[in-house]
């Protein structure tokens, strides 16, 4: 028969080992992500199914005029919408030709997790293109009016 | 507060000194095999109480153990906690109560009139708690319009959690009938209630619930008094 001290030793070793495994678990840091960005894709106006790059794209956020992208050649764009208000404006410049887009939406607060907190899901997305004499954006098609994950929501023809 | 610490230090000092002398004078004697039956002890969780005080929270926990039969003990814990969580995105308070009941088994047999024990325990625990959300900030990676802190007063009441605890516990008699001890526990969360647009995170008596795991860990330093002689 094994003595009692042996039992104690065995149990305590087992307990210590399980403590070691406990410390191997994943830390509670946010990996699930937060508020999704609005995805824009640029298509050719003459052939609406082919992507077409904007050769010299600069993106500014109004009203603070923060430069988001400067002189890049892109066919896809991700915009972080304003989570504090129900609308926001961005200026998309092709070369030196600025076109202003106003995004209107409603906001829904959704809980992600303790470490990720709350995110916003945008509903009923509408876009107003401010008219000027020389628009390089020809047409705007909203594919998805609900922004709840990072995909393409809007098609811009130019 | 300082008075308490001085007392605690004195207890530790004299406790160890008196323990030493008994051991010296009684060395090489035959071990005492039968424990005193129907020993009942009542304890207070001093470690978490002070830690919570330091963090401006509150935690009051009591534990009770009763020697039922040979080396088997009935274990019970109960208490209440108020705990503030502030992690930059969320700021909320947890207020709740818990109880734990279970069986303990003493592995340690004393020499002569010493009265210490090393116990392993299995306990079932249940908590009932409320969350009070004070403020939040929307999580938006790459934001150009920085999310504002929004102050709210939202309540998520009557949440429940059930879990199991495996623990080891050591109790040492310092003064006559006065024990100092600690308890290390691994906890497994069995079930919780669900909340709409919020989640179970902090649980009184369990501590923080990890998003990815149902296991928890707990440490208690307690001071207990033997009620029966």
Q: Name the more confident of A14 and A115.
A: A115
Instruction: Kindly list the residues from chain A whose CB atom is less than 8 angstroms away from the CB atom of residue B141.
Output: 33-35, 80
φ and ψ at residue A128, rounded to 5 degrees: -115, 125
Give the contacts of A4 (CB within 8 A, at least 6 positions apart). B107, B109
Residue with tokens 């005080």: B53
- Cβ of residue B151 closer than 8 Å to a chain A Cβ: no
- C-alpha dihedral sign at B36, B170, B22, B7: negative
pLDDT per position as a tens digit, B162-207: 999 999 999 998 888 899 999 999 999 999 999 999 999 999 999 8
pLDDT the model gives residue B69? 82
User: What pLDDT band is residue A26 in, cutting at 50, 70 and 90?
Assistant: low
pLDDT the model gives residue B9? 47
Instruction: Kindly list the residues from chain B whose CB atom is less than 8 angstroms away from the CB atom of residue A66.
Output: 144
pLDDT per position as a tens digit, B101-143: 999 998 888 777 778 888 999 999 999 999 999 999 999 988 8
Burial B58-87 (b: 16+ CB within 10 A, else e): ebebbbbbbbeeebebebebbbbbbbebee
pLDDT reading at A51 higher than 70: yes
User: What pLDDT band is residue B222 in, cutting at 50, 70 and 90?
Assistant: very high
pLDDT per position as a tens digit, B47-73: 999 999 999 999 999 999 998 888 899
User: What pLDDT band is residue A22 in, cutting at 50, 70 and 90?
Assistant: low
A19 and B217 in contact by Cβ < 8 A? yes
pLDDT the model gives residue B18? 41
Rounded CA-CA distance B127/B200 in Å is 12
Residue B66 near residue B228, CB atoms below 8 Å: no
pLDDT the model gives residue B21? 41
Q: Name the more confident of B114 and A4.
A: B114
- Cβ of residue B110 closer than 8 Å to a chain A Cβ: no
Residue B36 near residue B195, CB atoms below 8 Å: no
Q: Cis peptide leading into A63, omega within 30 of 0?
A: yes
pLDDT per position as a tens digit, B83-101: 999 988 999 999 999 999 9
The vertex-B57 CA angle with B54 and B58, nearest 5°, equals 100
Residue with tokens 């929004």: B150
Of B120, B143, B199, the CB nearest to A80: B143
**Which two three-digit tokens encode residue B45?**
């969780």
pLDDT per position as a tens digit, A112-123: 988 899 999 999
**Which two three-digit tokens encode residue B90?**
């969320």
pLDDT the model gives residue B198? 92
pLDDT the model gives residue B152? 93
pLDDT the model gives residue A25? 63
pLDDT per position as a tens digit, B3-46: 554 454 444 444 443 444 444 444 445 455 554 457 899 999 99
Rounded CA-CA distance B148/A53 in Å is 35
Nearest partner of A127 among A113, A137, A116, A119, judged by Cα: A137
**Which two three-digit tokens encode residue B42?**
């009542």
Instruction: Kindly list the residues from chain B whose CB atom is less than 8 angstroms away from the CB atom of residue A12.
Output: 168
pLDDT the model gives residue B37? 53
Distance from CA of B122 to the nearest CA of A (A): 13
Ranges of beta strands (E only) in chain B are: 40-45, 58-69, 72-86, 90-106, 117-137, 149-173, 178-192, 202-203, 207-208, 215-226
Q: A29: alpha, beta or left, given left = phi > 0 and alpha = psi -120 to 50? A: beta
pLDDT the model gives residue B1? 43
DSSP conformational letter for B56: T
B144 and A80 in contact by Cβ < 8 A? yes
CA distance readout (Å), B92 to A84, A156, B63, B136, B196: 21, 43, 28, 9, 16
> Quick check: helix, strand or coil at residue B170?
strand
B186 and A28 in contact by Cβ < 8 A? no
Of B118, B138, B141, the CB nearest to A33: B141
**Which two three-digit tokens encode residue B138?**
């929307």
Residue A37 near residue A61, CB atoms below 8 Å: no
Bridge partners for B132 per DSSP: B93, B155
The whole-number average pLDDT for the span B209-215 is 85
């Amino acid at each position: 028969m094994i003595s009692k001290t042996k039992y104690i030793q065995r149990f305590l070793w087992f307990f210590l080992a399980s403590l070691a495994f406990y410390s191997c678990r994943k830390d509670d840091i946010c990996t699930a992500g937060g508020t999704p960005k609005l995805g824009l894709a640029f298509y050719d106006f003459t052939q609406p199914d082919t992507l077409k790059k904007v050769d010299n794209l600069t993106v500014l956020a109004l009203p603070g005029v923060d430069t988001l992208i400067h002189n890049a050649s892109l066919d896809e764009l991700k915009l972080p919408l304003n989570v504090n208000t129900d609308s926001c404006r961005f200026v998309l410049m092709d070369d030196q030709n600025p076109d202003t887009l106003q995004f209107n939406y409603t906001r829904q607060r959704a809980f992600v997790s303790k470490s990720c907190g709350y995110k916003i899901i945008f509903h009923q997305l509408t876009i107003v293109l401010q008219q000027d004499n020389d628009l390089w954006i020809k047409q705007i098609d909203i594919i998805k009016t609900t922004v709840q994950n990072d995909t393409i929501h809007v098609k811009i023809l130019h | 507060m300082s008075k308490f610490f001085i007392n605690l230090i004195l207890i530790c000092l004299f406790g160890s000194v008196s323990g030493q002398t008994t051991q010296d004078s009684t060395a090489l004697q035959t071990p005492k095999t039968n424990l005193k039956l129907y020993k009942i002890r009542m304890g207070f969780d001093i470690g978490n109480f002070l830690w919570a005080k330091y963090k401006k929270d509150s935690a009051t926990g009591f534990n009770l153990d009763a020697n039922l039969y040979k080396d088997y003990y009935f274990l019970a814990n109960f208490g209440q906690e108020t705990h503030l969580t502030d992690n930059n995105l969320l700021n909320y308070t947890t207020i709740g109560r818990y109880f734990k009941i279970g069986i303990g088994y003493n592995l340690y047999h004393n020499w002569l009139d010493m009265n210490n024990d090393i116990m392993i325990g299995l306990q079932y625990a249940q908590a009932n708690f409320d969350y009070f959300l004070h403020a939040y900030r929307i999580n938006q990676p790459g934001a150009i319009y920085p999310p504002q802190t929004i102050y709210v007063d939202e309540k998520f009441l009557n949440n429940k959690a059930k879990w199991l605890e495996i623990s080891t516990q050591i109790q040492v008699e310092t003064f006559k009938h006065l024990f100092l001890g600690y308890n290390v526990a691994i906890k497994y969360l069995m079930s919780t209630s669900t909340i709409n647009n919020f989640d179970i995170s902090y649980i009184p008596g369990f501590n923080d619930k990890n998003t990815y795991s149902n296991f928890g860990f707990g440490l208690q330093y307690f001071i207990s008094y033997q009620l029966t002689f």
